[in-house]
Structure formats: structure tokens, C-alpha cells
Copies of this chain bind each other. A is one copy, B any other.
Amino acid sequence: MEAAMHYVATIPAETLHIFTREIFERAGFSPQHAADGADVLLWASRRGVETHGVRNLKLVYLRMLESGQINPNATFFVEHETPVSAQTNGDGGLGLAAGCWAMRLAMDKAEQSGMAFVTMRNSYHYGAAGYFPALALQRDMIGISLTGHFSGQGAAIGVPPTFGAKPMFSTNPIAVAFPTQNEAPWVLDMATSIAPYNRVMLHHENGLPVLPQWGLTAEGEPTADALLMQQMWPLGGDRAHGGHKGYGLSMMVATLCAVLSGGWDDGHADDAASFHGFRQTGDSHFFGAIRIDAFRPLEGFKRGMDAMIQALHAAPKVPGEERIYVAGEIEHETEQKRIKNGIPLTAVTLADLQELSVKYGVRLEIEG
């Protein structure tokens, strides 16, 4: 649920999808990586999750490619595996594609074994965490995805631990999806901070207010200035409001992603970015897929989900509110609308896409 954005143009979802894939290809990614990358970004853009949509094509992924951070010729590979698990390596490649590859591995293993978890290290920003569990819905499985980063010496921007004065964690999201029968699929996709940092930047570039409850300045002062906000509050905020729980969830994510994968590991130089030789290079992820019929017949589970959602819809509301939503419902409705009406673009994103169109010679048709 984004604050009201100012959009300047609209483009059919399928057109934007093809454009995004072609840009990734022309930029040097393989057809498979380009297709996966476009799938992840368009999923977010269709669902109104502007912080993780095509806005990031140039801003995040092509910038990281051009700076040499992302390896366009990455080959994702398994470092260790069992029938229910794998520890994998993203080879410094496009996180969007690495995530798709790892999630498919988890689902394929779960298909055979009932459930599976896959960790990955040495990857980069994998996009909207919710995309990967949503893939599991197509196979009627429960899907899980986490991505986490821990900075042993702290970072300029991120989430400090409770009572800490320096960001140590990224906004380490948790995403889980459950299949439903007739109701919208249940998709929880949440940063373990009150707000994800890229919402700060999104609001800034669109002239929207940044809320002071999201974070603090580097010096720990309250701020509503996007350019000064660097310490994002963990979910809950301060200790009295339960912020130690958001911090705990953030560390759980960091552990399942970075410690379990070996992404946070020793053997590095003991420099300013390392802690006693430990450091995390790139991002680490965690994916899971669980067959429902490992526990009970699928159909009963789906009916139970629908009934729970309907009970919540029917529950008494606080004065002034007309609806109670469940996770992913607003985004599902936005997706239905945008598939029909096209994807609206902000001025900044439109300018970025037009620049990429010229640079890579990929035609972009926009409805003004």
C-alpha cells in the first residue's frame, strides 16, 4: 500500500515486461537470467509494489552491472545438497535470476521429498521477496523466502539492534505465501523494519512525505528528511513498543540467510568492514517450499484458508474503516487492475526507461 504517487504515463504490462527482458539481455545477461529478472520486476510493478518494480531496473541492477559489482556471466551452483536441502552460490550474479533458480530447486526437491530449504550466498539484491513464495503457489505449495545482510562493523544505512547506535542489518524481509481456493492468494512480504529503506528514497524522489516513525538520522535524532534518515527502526520501534522483536526477527533472517549459507564467514582480511575476519560479501538468501499434503489433503487446507479470510473480512471494523485486508490482497487487486489498464509510471521511472530505450536501442511505446 503506497502513499499516493504522481504518475505521468501508462504502459501495458506485457509491453513493459518484454521491454524489461530485452534491456536485461542487451545489457549482457543470458536469455534465462533476463527472463527471470523481468518476471520478478514486473510482478512487483503489476502489484503496485513500486519500491521493487521496474523503478529498480536502471537504479539498482544496471547500475550494479555497470559498476562491475554484478557478474553478467554468473553460473549459479550447488555447494552441498541432500534430498531436502541445498547450499548454493549465486556466483555474484543477478540476484533476481539467482533467486528464481534457487526457488525452483527448492520446489523441485519439495515435490520429491515433501519439503525443502535452499540457502544461497554470494548473490545480490533479489527484488521483491514475495515473488519467490508466490512461485510456490503455482504448485500448490507453501512458499518461504528471506533475504538478509549483516554488517559486522555497521553500515551507513540499515537497521540497528535495540540499544544500538549504528545500522548492522539490512531491512531483512520475511515473505511467506499460502495457497487459497477462491480468495486472493495469501502473500506476506514484509521488511522486518517499520518501513523498507527504498520507500524512503521512493517517497523522496516523488515529493511524498517521509514519516518520522520510520527512522532516525545517523546521529540518532528523529527526522522527516529522507536524505537524513539512515537508521531504520526495527518493526516495533523502540524497546517499550516491542522493537526488540523486530530486531530479533531481523537477526533470525540474517542467520537463516547468511550464517546457514556461509555468506557470513571468516577467512577475510581483518579490515574496516570485517569483524575478526568475518564479513558478508553480497547478499544471502533462504528459500523454502512445503507440500501441504505432507500434512493434510490440499483441498481442506484451501477451504480453511478461504474461511479464515472470509471470517476476517466479516469481522467488526474500527469506525471509519470499511474493509479488513489480509496479506497480499491489496496487491492482488492492484494486479488485476494493472493487467487490464496498464502500469503507471512516475516521471523518474519514465525518464529512466526512456534513457535505457535509447541506450540499448529497444523501442518503448508509452501511452502519455
- Inter-chain contact A275/B316, CB cutoff 8 Å: no
A301 contacts the other chain (Cβ, under 8 Å)? yes
> Do the beta carbons of A264 and B85 come within 8 Å of each other?
no
| Copies of this chain, tallied across the complex | 2
* B-side contacts of A294, CB under 8 Å: 82, 84-85, 117
A311 touches B152 (CB 8 A): yes
Interface string of A149-174 (1 = CB under 8 A from B): 01011100000111111101000001
B264 touches A307 (CB 8 A): yes
Any B CB within 8 A of the CB of A28? no
Please indicate the chain B residues that have their CB under 8 angstroms from the CB of A150 in the complex. Answer: 308, 311
The CA of A351 and the CA of B191, in the complex, are separated in Å by 45
The contact of A152 among B252, B292, B307, by CB within 8 Å, is: B307
Q: Which residues of chain B are within 8 angstroms of A321 by Cβ–Cβ distance?
A: 163
- 0/1 per residue, A227-258, Cβ < 8 Å to B? 00000000111001110111011011011101
Q: A304 within 8 Å of B by Cβ?
A: yes
Alpha-carbon distance A52/B60, docked complex (angstroms):
47
With the chains together, A265 CA to B80 CA distance in Å? 40
**Mask of A2-42 contacts with B, CB within 8 angstroms, 1/0:** 00000000000000000000000000000000000000000
Q: Give the nearest-CB partner of A241 in chain B.
A: B213
Residue on B with the closest CB to A265?
B304
A324 contacts chain B at the CB level, 8 A cutoff: yes
Question: Which of A161, A178, A307 gathers most chain B CB within 10 Å?
Answer: A307
Residues of B within 8 A of A117 (CB): 115, 290, 294-295
The 9 closest A-B pairs by CB, nearest first: A85-B294, A163-B321, A275-B311, A259-B304, A194-B242, A278-B307, A165-B316, A152-B311, A188-B248
